[in-house]
Amino acid sequence: MSATYDPRAARTRHPASGPAGQVRFAHPSERLFATLLDLSGERWEYEPVEFPLDWDAHGSPVSGFRPDFYLPGRGLFIELTTADQRLVTRKNRKVRRMRALYPEVPIRVVYQRDFTSLLASHGLLPLTAGAA
């Protein structure tokens, strides 16, 4: 990959982008995060690219990772992780693998505690409540 990485060049399907109410999300927390991005005026794309992580003997991808959001104005991928620890560990492994294979692609992981704090800072959730 080049230093001027263009996620559209690697896209395997058309991204879902636009107002959060018009996109099918895998988890309610993703819809809430997209709504916060909409309210802040931040452009975003939902799962626009799948990064191959492992290949078979013939060079065909056998596993991949599709970050939840891409922020085109920042050139940044976001992975939202509000699930149980077992799933977080698996996602962290994929993020580490992605960073090793694609070091020029910036990605940030938003963990449950960070997401909860973000919601609370916008008055959407008390600090003592759990995440979506």
Q: Does pLDDT of 6 surpass 70? A: no
pTM: 0.76
Overall average pLDDT of the 108-130 stretch: 78
Question: CA-to-CA distance for 61 and 4, rounded, in angstroms?
Answer: 23
Asked if residue 130 is part of any domain, the answer here is no
Structural domains of the chain, count: 1
Residue 128: inside a domain, yes or no?
no
Examine the pLDDT at 5 and tell me if it is beyond 60: no
Task: Tell me whether residue 26 is in a domain.
Answer: yes
What tens digit of pLDDT does each residue of 54-65 get? 999 999 999 999
Boundaries of domain holding 18: 7-121
Q: What integer pLDDT is reported at residue 79 of this predicted model?
A: 95
Alpha helices in the chain (DSSP H): 28-40, 85-101, 112-121
Per residue in 88-118, pLDDT tens? 888 899 999 999 999 999 999 999 888 888 8
CATH number of residue 25's parent domain: 3.40.960
Q: Evaluate whether residue 132 is within a structural domain.
A: no
Residue 39 lies in a domain: yes
Which residues, including other chains, have CB under 8 Å from residue 88's CB and lie 6 or more apart? 81, 111, 112
Q: Please name the residue that has the structure tokens 């294979």.
A: 101
